[in-house]
Amino acid sequence: MAENLRTTRYSNGDPIPITEDGDEWSNLGSGAMCYFDNDPSHSGKWGALYNGFALNDDRNICPAGWHVTTSEEYENLFAYLGGKDKAPVRLKTPGNRMDGTGLWNGFNFGSSNNSGFTAIPAGGRSINGNFTRLHSQTYFWRQRGAHFQLSTRHQEIMIGFANFEHGFSVRCVKDK
């Protein structure tokens, strides 16, 4: 996919609960989604944020015939784009908010999106239910709590693990 997932249903048709309350979000033990700042109009530009429980639900958060991008698939993409230190500029949309040419805060030097991935600074939702870092960072779930992050402050891909209570963007890959 060349955009962030924004589905409200698992692939079997079951709804993914939209959870707006921050306290409720931080205490969930099951799949949920939200829109940044609980504003559904953000869906068109930023997509939705999903907790790790939704990501790992057997009902599949991705459309039928698609799956959540695996860590191995992302690693292959990063390698193809020149490694974790060169891939960010090829993944991120160009421009910046300071001069009105893009969505990223800061300078966003050299970003070209020549990969077609179209990473935008969609921010995330923290473990305590607060929304964070719109316009300056984006987080993508990989699988089982793994994620990667792109930022205006760092020109490399940051990889880590997060609690399932975080809310991050999701990209899906078509099944072979």
pTM (2 decimals)?
Answer: 0.95
Q: How far apart are CA 72 and CA 91, in angstroms?
A: 17
**Token couple for 173:** 């890959």
Q: Kindly indicate the confidence band of residue 138, based on its pLDDT and cuts at 50, 70 and 90.
A: very high
Which residue did the predictor score with more confidence, 145 or 169? 169
Give the range of the structural domain holding residue 35, as residue numbers without chain letter: 22-174
Task: Flag whether 141 is in a domain.
Answer: yes
Neighbours of 91 (CB within 10 A): 24
Residue 17 lies in a domain: no
Task: Give the count of beta carbons closer than 10 Å to the beta carbon of residue 85.
Answer: 12
Give Cα 128 to chain centroid, integer Å. Answer: 18
> Is 14 among the domain residues?
no
Q: Is 3 part of any domain?
A: no
Q: Which helix (H) or strand (E) holds 139?
A: strand 137-141
Task: Indicate whether 13 belongs to any domain.
Answer: no
pLDDT digits (tens, 9 = 90+) for 63-116: 999 999 999 999 999 999 999 889 999 999 999 998 899 999 987 888 999 999
Q: Is residue 11 part of a domain?
A: no
Q: Is residue 97 part of a domain?
A: yes
Structural domain count of the chain: 1
Q: Is position 10 within any domain?
A: no
* 115/137 Cα distance (integer angstroms): 19
